[in-house]
Chain A
Amino acid sequence: MTAFLQYLGQSTRISFTKLGRASYFLLQILAGVLSLLARPRLLLKQLYSVGVLSFLIITISGLFVGMVLSLQGYYTLSDFGAEETLGVMVAASLVRELGPVVSGLLFAGRAGSALTAEIGLMKATEQLSGMEMMAVDPIKRIVTPRFVAGLISMPLLAALFSAVGIIGGQMVGCGLLGVDDGAFWSQMQAGIDFRDDILNGVIKSLVFGFVSSWIALFEGYDAIPTSEGVSRATTRTVVNSAFSILGLDFILTALMFGEH
């Protein structure tokens, strides 16, 4: 009994300590943002590895998600004779939910795990302490550019996901299923609001980019510097990012779309 209580207390303390370290780490990252402006090349390199390399998976997934949405929506909507509203259905579900959430999950899997493994290995091979030895701040030099790159890439990737998905939905809906092209677009334009739907989707994707980059970088920086430790940290990145994205999505949706 005492052993159990001890275990409980210890694990609670450990997780709070970790949260504290993560918050301190975030402050350190944010403190380095200004000095990043002096070295834009570091940021550009990370934009390539975080954003450009995620481009293909995001666009292809977006295309298929939009096509499936259109197909599924058509079968349900045609029962009510409301096939013309297919455009609103596809666009609203992509712009509000699926765009930010699915691209956030893909981003965590594609870019987040790579970030954790990279930084964890740098730590394991003592590159980070080597930098400190040379009076180079590894957070400013290594971590902050990756964080800012994630923050910039995520909204762009989510917008691409939604745009490609809507085009895929249009191809299937109008090309394959015979929904009227004009009705598809006009119903969509009448039903989607720029501020309420699209800007809120962009805000969501910014939040997801912030959180998943933070988790990925912290797990890498905090990893036990062995090959096993790095592999565990990578797993934790994907699991924790997925949890936080889905949980935050619920909170953000309740806040943003609540008053209607």
Chain B
Amino acid sequence: MQHTSTQDTFVGLFVASGIIGLFFLAMQVSNLSSFVSEDSYTITARFENSGGLKIKSPVSAAGVKIGRVTAINFDPKTFESVVKMSINSKYNALPDDTTASIFTAGLLGEQYVNLDAGGSDTPLKNDGTIEITQSAIILEKALGQFLFKSAEEKK
């Protein structure tokens, strides 16, 4: 009888340590902890070109991450990219003349949406739309323009 009870203890320890391992992976290693129980609201911005922006790309204001991109769709009528973002409800006082632009973190880093607060007194509501946007800078396009310009100057 003594033997089976130590065996039970070891099995218990084993299962517990396995579950702790899983819990460690979920909380410490993955981004699960940043999702848990945060209320958020959705805003939409229309870009001429959303470049390499992806679903789950960060949305930041003044360098602080305040939300994530939840959907990117192509509008077949206006030929624009419609980007939906979910913003943490803590930051619900963004003015309705906020500007959205797509920047790149570092030279080769991932792209993110940057929100620049405007001066209006009315805040953006849930499902609100950002009117003033600035598209992603496409490196090939910029390079092409630069080369074209320098060729013109040489003539």
**Which B residues are in CB contact (< 8 Å) with A55?**
14, 17
- Rank and list the top 9 A-B pairs by shortest CB-CB distance, nearest first: A156-B18, A163-B21, A194-B32, A159-B21, A194-B30, A160-B21, A159-B22, A192-B30, A52-B14
* Chain A interface, number of residues (Cβ within 8 angstroms): 30
Report if B7 contacts A (CB, 8 A).
yes
Q: Which of A157, A185, A192 has the most CB of B within 10 A?
A: A192
In the assembled complex, the Cα of A51 lies from the Cα of B35 at a distance in Å of: 33
Collect the chain B residues with CB atoms within 8 Å of residue A185's CB: 28
- Extra contacts, 10 of them, besides A163-B25, A194-B35 (Cβ < 8 A), are A44-B11, A47-B15, A55-B17, A159-B25, A163-B21, A164-B21, A185-B28, A189-B34, A194-B32, A197-B30
- Inter-subunit contact B14/A51 (CB<8 Å): yes
**Of listed B10, B19, B33, residue having the most chain A CB within 10 A:** B10
Whether A198 contacts B19 by the Cβ 8 Å rule is: no
CA of A160 to CA of B32 in the docked complex: distance in angstroms? 18
Residue B71 lies at the interface, judged by CB distance under 8 Å to chain A: no
Interface size of B in residues (CB-CB distance below 8 Å) = 26
B1-45, CB under 8 A of A: which get 1 and which 0?
A: 000100110110111011111101110111111110000000000
Beyond A160-B17, A160-B21, A189-B34, is A51–B29 a contact (Cβ under 8 Å)? no
**B interface residues with partner A (beta carbon < 8 Å):** 4, 7-8, 10-11, 13-15, 17-22, 24-26, 28-35, 56
Shortest B111–chain A CB gap in Å is 14
- Could you list some 15 contacts between A and B, CB below 8 A? A47-B14, A51-B15, A55-B17, A153-B14, A153-B18, A156-B18, A157-B18, A159-B25, A163-B22, A163-B25, A185-B28, A189-B30, A189-B31, A192-B29, A198-B22
